[in-house]
């Protein structure tokens, strides 16, 4: 826990005037939590002070709108990461970027023309078909090795063990899987077959059948990690299956202690992706003693700034 960072953020608000007593009383009665954030006037960064990015980020707490949620998120994140939960797509793209580049395109490019050129669009990014061919060439012999270990050594493969094997084999500094493997950080992926990796598993099942992936062992491992932790914190980028999976694990401990959501989804359709943290509190997925934050924003813009103001500030040159 980075207590000094938290105190620095909260104490920085003391330079602003307090709001009137009637407003303060209303805020304290209506807003969960009891931090200085509830008793300050809205005020942004003063650029006459020059460009100080740390001071700029700190000023977000009193700026209002999503900037304030960003400042709240910094406080929450500074209290937390011991594991990663992600999709199949994130894993395969992490591996493929080490084999072949992904290219910047445009959101409006014509799908039919892209298909004829062997290009696949993800938003405004383009991945070549050849990247998936290289992924297949990478995985098929690795699956042979894993099947051999299963048959001859009794290895029980789970998604997290498989991903660690990917990280070991890719051996590339650009890979998150590689660094997670090096630092013994498990990566859970409950839907590991939902993507290109699943396609290669399907092909392998005909070429050399018998490889098994045990999701039950992984759910036990992940839930046990949540149950035995002194505190748990969630940083959830986007929504869908992963958001629910992470939150659901914390029901077993009557809720996570800290939570930060970053997504653009709305709750009017009843989707789990759009559900605000307070809905998770009602299920016991987030503790009713916590101060969870949702930033309504796109993760590729928000998350790097959040990392810069939290984890990256604590990195030393010998790590």
Q: Residue 234 and residue 55: Cα distance in Å, rounded?
A: 25
User: Would you state the pLDDT for residue 24?
Assistant: 60
Q: Which residues contact 25 (CB under 8 A, 6 or more apart)?
A: none
Pairing of strands 258-263, 233-237: parallel
Domain boundaries defined on the chain:
3-71, 85-217
User: Would you state the pLDDT for residue 34?
Assistant: 43
User: Would you state the pLDDT for residue 180?
Assistant: 94
* Cα distances (angstroms) measured from residue 52 to each of 38, 57, 72, 73, 77: 25, 9, 19, 20, 21
User: Would you state the pLDDT for residue 179?
Assistant: 93
Pairing of strands 125-128, 119-122: antiparallel
DSSP, res 18: P
User: Would you state the pLDDT for residue 22?
Assistant: 61
Residues recognised as catalytic = 285
DSSP, res 175: -
The answer to whether residues 284 and 259 touch, using CB atoms and an 8 Å cutoff, is no
The per-residue pLDDT string of the chain (319 residues; one tens digit each, 9 = 90 and over) reads 455 555 555 555 554 445 566 656 655 555 554 444 455 677 777 888 888 777 777 777 777 788 788 877 787 777 666 789 999 999 999 999 999 999 989 999 999 999 999 999 999 999 999 999 999 999 999 999 999 999 999 999 999 999 999 999 999 999 999 999 999 999 999 999 999 999 999 999 999 999 999 999 999 999 999 999 889 999 999 998 999 999 999 998 999 999 999 999 999 999 989 999 999 999 999 999 999 999 999 998 898 888 888 888 777 544 4
Q: Residue 195 and residue 241: Cα distance in Å, rounded?
A: 14
Q: Which CATH number fits domain 85-217: 3.40.910.10, 3.40.190.10, 3.40.1160.10, 3.40.140.10?
A: 3.40.910.10
Nearest to 200 by CA among 177, 173, 166: 166
């Amino acid at each position: 826990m980075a207590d000094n960072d938290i105190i620095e953020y909260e104490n920085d608000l003391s330079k602003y005037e307090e709001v009137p007593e009637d407003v303060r009383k209303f805020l304290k009665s209506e807003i969960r939590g009891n931090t200085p954030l509830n008793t300050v006037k809205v005020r942004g960064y003063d650029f006459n002070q020059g460009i100080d990015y740390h001071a700029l980020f700190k000023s977000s707490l009193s700026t209002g709108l999503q900037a304030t949620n960003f400042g709240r998120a910094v406080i929450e994140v500074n209290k937390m990461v011991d594991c990663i939960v992600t999709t199949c797509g994130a894993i395969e793209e992490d591996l493929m970027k080490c084999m072949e580049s992904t290219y910047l395109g445009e959101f409006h490019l014509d799908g039919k023309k892209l298909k004829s050129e062997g290009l696949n669009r993800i938003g405004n990014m383009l991945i070549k078909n050849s990247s998936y061919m290289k992924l297949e060439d990478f995985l098929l012999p690795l699956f042979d090795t894993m099947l051999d270990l299963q048959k001859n050594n009794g290895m029980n493969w789970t998604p997290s063990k498989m991903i660690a094997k990917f990280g070991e084999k890719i051996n590339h500094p650009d890979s998150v899987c590689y660094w997670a493997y090096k630092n013994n950080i498990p990566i859970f992926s409950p839907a590991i077959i939902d993507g290109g990796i699943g396609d290669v598993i399907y092909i392998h099942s005909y070429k050399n059948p018998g490889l098994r992936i045990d999701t039950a062992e992984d759910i036990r491992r992940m839930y046990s990690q949540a149950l035995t932790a002194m505190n748990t914190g969630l940083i959830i980028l986007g929504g869908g299956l992963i958001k629910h999976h992470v939150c659901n694990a914390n029901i077993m401990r009557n809720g996570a202690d800290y939570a930060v959501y970053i997504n653009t989804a709305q709750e009017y359709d009843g989707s789990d992706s759009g559900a605000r943290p307070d809905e998770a509190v009602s299920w016991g997925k987030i503790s009713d003693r916590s101060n969870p934050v949702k930033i309504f924003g796109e993760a590729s813009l928000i998350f790097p700034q959040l990392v810069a103001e939290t984890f990256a500030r604590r990195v030393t040159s010998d790590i």
